[in-house]
Chain A
Amino acid sequence: MSGRARVKARGIARSPSATEVGRTQASPLPTSVDLSNNEASSSNGFLGTSRISTNDKYGISSGDAGSNSMERGVKNKQDFMDLSICTREKLAHVRDCKTGSSGIPVKLVTNLFNLDFPQDWQLYQYHVTYVPDLASRRLRIALLYSHSELSNKAKAFDGAILFLSQKLEEKVTELSSETQRGETIKMTITLKRELPSSSPVCIQVFNIIFRKILKKLSMYQIGRNFYNPSEPVEIPQHKLSLWPGFAISVSYFESKLLFSADVSYKVLRNETVLEFMTALCQRTGLSGFTQTCEKQLIGLIVLTRYNNRTYSIDDIDWSVKPTHTFQKRDGTEITYVDYYKQQYDITVSDLNQPMLVSLLKRKRNDNSEARLAHLIPELCFLTGLTDQATSNFQLMKAVAEKTRLPPSGRQQRLARLVDNIQRNTNARFELETWGLHFGSQISLTGRVVPSEKILMQDHICQPVSAADWSKDIRTCKILNAQSLNTWLILCSDRTEYVAESFLNCLRRVAGSMGFNVDYPKIIKVQENPAAFVRAVQQYVDPDVQLVMCILPSNQKTYYDSIKKYLSSDCPVPSQCVLARTLNKQGMMMSIATKIAMQMTCKIGGELWAVEIPLKSLMVVGIDVCKDALSKDVMVVGCVASVNPGITRWFSRCILQRTMTDVADCLKVFMTGALNKWYKYNHDLPARIIVYRAGVGDGQLKTLVEYEVPQLLSSVAGSSSNTSSRLSVIVVRKKCMPRFFTEMNRTVQNPPLGTVVDSEATRNEWYDFYLISQVACRGTVSPTYYNVIYDDNGLKPDHMQRLTFKLCHLYYNWPGIVSVPAPCQYAHKLTFLVAQSIHKEPSLELANHLFYL
């Protein structure tokens, strides 16, 4: 175990996001740049995924999976794969023009910047060989860079491949150097390729250049982003500090190369692991200290400030002390204390502390034993927020205040970054030697599509704000509601009183909504999950339309066991309500309204509609998610509308045992959905539009080649004479560009319904951005839509407006949501199954939105 402490670790991604996993498994990738003809480049993570996690909401970077050096940037191509999929050229109706024209034009500022370079700019790719061969990359680089031929040129080198912006005189250059040990090494530099600026390899190199520049601005790369430890934002009352930073990338957008930057924060705790241990010891005493300590610390991610790297704590070694020795890579023995003194000039003060153990990420195709790194608690700072912290409202509020920057704050930070790049001599020199020039911020024109009217039963309402029309529809009757005659309420003794008062309230609001709720049978049970489940088993018979459970606590087992039994073993819609929620007297009416709406939907009611100009259109939403218990199970949720008004849905969730985020059960689902449509409408839908969410980086190809054919074959297979026309749209909630409107000399969030389909889009795709949510604090993020298949031939205008309309139809929220309703339903369904049920819900429930 040599040189453990020194070994570079890139921290292991502990983020629960399923996409991380999916991405790394997407496909084996070529490791050499020579193969890169077929891929273009952006930075890592130009388009993230649509998964929401708490961290995303707060704009805090959560990923600790890092790529920290240039060779990573060259080799890691998963993210660049998507760009080789040119879907637009196959779509005849948008080949020439994919922009819409309707709506009111609005001037928008973006977080994108021009990157200028001379017309004839070229990149020269060389291959460098060493005789005798050297294993150490560091040594290879040092030897090469020491030569005067190269010292003043702009260069990027990973140990084998060298990029230069200026051509060397000879095609093959031979150099020789002497190492410190006196060995003479011969280096041969051979020209391999001359690359024009549009080449995908260039874009990778541009990204590498910008990473270098940000390092020159004394920012540190943690994960994929760059942070500035010298200007922390402190939140002293919670012992937190935030490092401000940026996620950056360079890529080709519609017509030119652009640099994009988005603000990001790293949350750190102002506490070393040693301090944490001491405090814990004082609190709990010595008995059982090691176990408590392991329980609290293991699994956390720490940052070592001496090299600004992150590690996860996988174990604690109580038997090793800083005074013990370890073997360095060259075979010499050294104590940890001496090592840190020599290497970083750090004196370890506590010589009796145990050592933290981190399991280092193994390299690909490396079957060797796992490598461990020993870390000194005194030097490790805790990062991120614990579950305990995230449930602390005050703390999260304080963090949100700092991290959720309003558009003006974001704009200021961007301006400062640009200013720094241009003022810092080193950074500017780096840019200039490469022949690049940092240009102006891009502004473009978007369009605001008209707002939608909400159709109620006998009333058409024009909401004051599409963000929330709950007030506007208060007096209106909902479209269609089944009467709720036979139902149960399960509650405990303590909650009986609130249940009664809630029931009265519920019946009152439901009545005014046009939803008839009869008096239920109330069953009192003891306060434990077993009692609830037994009562459900005993009292639920097939006549029961709905079971409402008033849960005494938010313990997950209550919810999980009830949902599990009532979704698959005995399919009856269920509604769980926390007793705590019902105790909020002042809010009783609005709570009851919301629950009444959910209950209506669960037994097959419809709340509202928007005008859909296309007759016979089926919309489908697909989302995927990993099961929370068994990680090799993929939960695929599919939701399809079954009436032309798009108010009734067929929902099905399928579990598949695969390692990728790709669905292979779509034909089964589509056939079922088309049969349902046929049953209700006595015909097949003329058009089908599929919104696919949950797509990770690098999966576009698989989608086009694997999922689209499944959908097509099910559409073709179901009818012999006329086949429905299909469109497939990939929906992504997370994307790099941000848009601001300029108003009264300051920038603001753009209005709802803003569509951007030029400049910030990609030339090879039929894509657009749509803003369909409101950010009450911070900056709104647009949703990105990429039409990968389109038989329907709808005009871009119509496609955009239809998408906007669909964002109004999510029945769990009386307002517009960030993705089209079928996607949100599919997401909700997969979430329920992945978190609570872990098996396929019964098909008997498929006609109701039982998962709301």
Chain B
Amino acid sequence: MPNRKASRNAYYFFVQEKIPELRRRGLPVARVADAIPYCSADWAKPVFTPLRRPGMLVPKQNVSPPDMSTLSLKGDQALLGGIFYFLNIFSHGELPPHCEQRFLPCEIGCVKYSLQEGIMADFHSFINPGEIPRGFRFHCQAASDSSHKIPISNFERGHNQATVLQNLYRFIHPNPGNWPPIYCKSDDRTRVNWCLKHMAKASEIRQDLQLLTVEDLVVGIYQQKFLKEPSKTWIRSLLDVAMWDYSSNTRCKWHEENDILFCALAVCKKIAYCISNSLATLFGIQLTEAHVPLQDYEASNSVTPKMVVLDAGRYQKLRVGSSGFSHFNSADQEQRSNTPIGDYPSRAKTSGQNSSVRGRGITRLLESISNSSSNIHKFSNCDTSLSSYMSQKDGYKSFSSLS
């Protein structure tokens, strides 16, 4: 009797993997045998194994053309237009390993982002975590209290897990076709993955989202652009800044109203801000409100109408010294609002200059303004364009030529 298992060759597994997709296309495939006719054409094509899909790409020193294509982005244009989704799911703490339920999903946030457009859309929802395992109420309560402070029970904003998942799918995948890659920070990956699986179980929707890490995405973009690999530490520090914590229109409404910093939506938006602030500028993209929360700095007077600067002795001296230029007059504030919040780590990297820069876009900008205050007052017109301002700065020129 022939060994039946011998029939399970590579093609068998290939077809098996294809079955879900064929079913989605509406084809009546129940078994591998049914699916074989539909797969033959695909079998002939070379396929990328999941390991070589974008972001999962292991950073390599020498960037060869095939690696570029794995990013599925051709050249800068493709990179700039490429759409990424940043996803995060919060839980009421993490239960010990012997428990079947490791997490209790309670909040989800997701943003659609491209380097060119900035944040294009966002999705946020509270999730009903379900019954808290008996005996772990304290554990969950303590975890919640120390971070997002979402009530662990009787929280009327929480939605049914199945509904939330369906809405999320609708958000990231409105039209049929390939599912886009989803990213989250590497520290959160286990939790987000677990929660997605758990929610899928509850909702009986089968769609294995591919969850990649933001860190790898940044490596990928950077590598693509500069053919160099940035350090992990640099990426971590790039993604971990506190400056947007209180920016308006970053947290969800509930967290904003209760003034709580930990918000799943805010985490995703802050990833987008950080990438915009440090990477999008490398491509010479003018930052808009969709990239970083500019409006806070633009309209600072209207946000905090009572903010008054009491000029003291030193500044009067300074005013005299700098031939009428006042650092803090209103014109200057408009000026500032029109200039981007720039952080140019690559300048440091590529041109080998001092590399102490990170996460201080605004202050460095202020510094550059005050340093070059003698130059600035030449721009009587406040609509100084990015390029004309930037061309004043050494080292940047080489960059703008790159884009």
Q: Is B123 an interface residue (CB 8 A)?
A: no
Measured between beta carbons, the chain B residues less than 8 angstroms from A315 are 132, 134-138
Complex-state Cα separation, A359 to B99, whole angstroms: 13
B86 to chain A: closest CB distance in Å? 20
A705 contacts B by Cβ under 8 Å:
no
Contact A519 B135 (CB under 8 A): no
Quick check: is B142 within 8 A (CB to CB) of the other chain? yes
In contact, B98 and A557 (Cβ under 8 angstroms): no
A106 contacts chain B at the CB level, 8 A cutoff = no
Please judge, given known A-B contacts A523-B308, A538-B297, whether A357 and B359 are in contact too, CB under 8 Å. no
Q: 8 Å CB contacts to B: which residues of A524-567?
A: 524-526, 528-531, 533-535, 537-543, 557, 561, 564-565
Chain A residue at minimal CB-CB distance from B364: A542
* Bound CA span A519–B360, Å: 26
A727 to B: closest C-beta gap in Å: 32
B77-121 near A? 1/0 per residue, CB < 8 Å: 000000000000000000010110000000000000000000000
Q: How far is the CA of A193 from the CA of B144 in the complex (A)?
A: 54
Binding site secondary structure of chain B? loop
Interface residues of B in 137-182 (CB under 8 A from A): 137-139, 141-142, 146-147, 153-154
A629 contacts chain B at the CB level, 8 A cutoff = yes
Closest to A533 in B: B246
Q: B310 and A298: CB pair below 8 A?
A: no
Which residue of B is nearest A362, CB measured? B98
The B203-244 residues at the A interface (CB cut-off 8 A) are 240-243
Minimum C-beta distance from B190 to chain A (A): 12
Q: In the docked arrangement, what's the CA distance between A533 and B250, Å? A: 15
Given contacts A485-B314, A522-B312, contact A561 B363 (CB under 8 A): no
Q: Does A615 contact B (CB under 8 A)?
A: no
CB distance A542 to B134 under 8 Å? Answer: no
Question: Are B147 and A534 interface neighbours, CB within 8 A?
Answer: no
Q: How far is the CA of A524 from the CA of B309 in the complex (A)?
A: 7
Q: Which of B134, B135, B242, B307 contacts A523 (CB 8 A)?
A: B307
Counting CB contacts under 8 A, is B394 at the interface?
no
- Decide: B307 and A520 in contact? CB cutoff 8 A: no
- A97 on the interface (CB 8 Å rule)? no
Query: How far in angstroms is the closest Cβ of chain B from A317?
Result: 7
Q: Output the least CB separation between A797 and chain B (Å).
A: 46
Is B249 at the interface (CB under 8 A from chain A)?
no
**B64 in the interface, Cβ–Cβ < 8 Å?**
no
A442 contacts the other chain (Cβ, under 8 Å)? no
Bits for A470-482, please: 1 = Cβ < 8 Å to B, else 0: 0000000000000
Q: Which of A314, A518, A528 lies in contact with B135, CB distance below 8 A?
A: A314
Of A240-248, A336-344, A367-375, which stretch is located at the interface? Answer: A367-375
Inter-chain contact B135/A538, CB cutoff 8 Å? no
- Shortest C-beta distance, A498 to chain B (Å), equals 15
Are B138 and A522 touching (Cβ within 8 A)?
no
A362 CA to B135 CA, complexed, in Å: 13
- Ordered by A's residue number, 27 sampled pairs between the chains whose C-beta atoms are within 8 Å are A294-B141, A299-B138, A312-B138, A314-B136, A314-B139, A315-B138, A316-B137, A317-B134, A362-B98, A519-B313, A519-B314, A520-B312, A521-B309, A522-B309, A523-B310, A524-B307, A524-B308, A525-B304, A526-B304, A530-B259, A533-B245, A537-B297, A561-B246, A565-B242, A565-B245, A568-B359, A569-B242
Q: Which residues of A contact B (CB under 8 A)?
A: 291, 294-295, 298-299, 312-317, 357-359, 362, 367-370, 372, 485-486, 493, 518-526, 528-531, 533-535, 537-543, 557, 561, 564-565, 568-570, 628-629, 839, 844
Using A521-B315, A526-B304, A541-B367 as known contacts, list a sample of 20 further A-B pairs with CB atoms less than 8 Å apart, ordered by residue number in A. Answer: A291-B153, A315-B132, A315-B134, A317-B134, A359-B135, A370-B96, A372-B135, A520-B312, A521-B312, A523-B307, A523-B308, A524-B307, A528-B259, A529-B259, A534-B246, A534-B300, A537-B297, A541-B370, A565-B243, A569-B359
List the 10 closest A-B pairs by CB distance, nearest first. Answer: A530-B246, A315-B137, A519-B312, A359-B135, A564-B242, A314-B138, A522-B310, A541-B366, A298-B138, A299-B138
